[in-house]
């Protein structure tokens, strides 16, 4: 007899989702949570924690995406050097003003 719609067909999916959510909180919580603590959290608090971590990482990914779209890549995914961009970036740095050789006596 099903209990509030929890049938034997959907139990494996519900358990998988529960353990996935626990794993995500423990893994992406950066050491702030251990498995047993997250497992024993009230459902509302576990869902809130999961949604806050998810929001944080989505915002971080969006910031990283917008930042990378404004920067010039000096080396592409295949390992080829973008020569004009590399030359331009190299001109921005001045040569050192110190001598690396010891004085001759």
Nearest-angstrom CA–CA distance, 13 and 25: 18
Q: Is the pTM of this model over 0.85?
A: no
Residue 104 lies in a domain: no
Residue 64 lies in a domain: yes
Q: How many CB atoms lie within 10 A of CB 40?
A: 8
Residue 102 lies in a domain: no
Residue 2 lies in a domain: no
Nearest-angstrom CA–CA distance, 70 and 74: 13
- The owner of tokens 């004085």 is 103
pLDDT tens for residues 8-60?
888 899 899 999 999 999 999 888 899 999 999 999 999 999 999 999 999 99
Q: Is the pLDDT of residue 85 over 70?
A: yes
Domain range for 16? 11-91
């Amino acid at each position: 007899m099903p209990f509030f719609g929890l049938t034997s067909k959907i139990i494996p999916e519900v358990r998988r989702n529960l353990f996935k959510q626990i794993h995500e909180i423990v893994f992406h919580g950066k050491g702030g949570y251990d498995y047993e603590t997250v497992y024993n959290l009230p459902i509302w608090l576990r869902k809130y924690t999961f949604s806050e971590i998810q929001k944080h990482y989505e915002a971080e990914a969006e910031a990283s995406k917008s930042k990378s779209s404004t920067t010039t890549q000096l080396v592409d995914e295949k390992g080829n050097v973008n020569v004009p961009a590399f030359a331009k970036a190299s001109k921005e740095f001045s040569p050192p003003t110190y001598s690396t050789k010891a004085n001759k006596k």
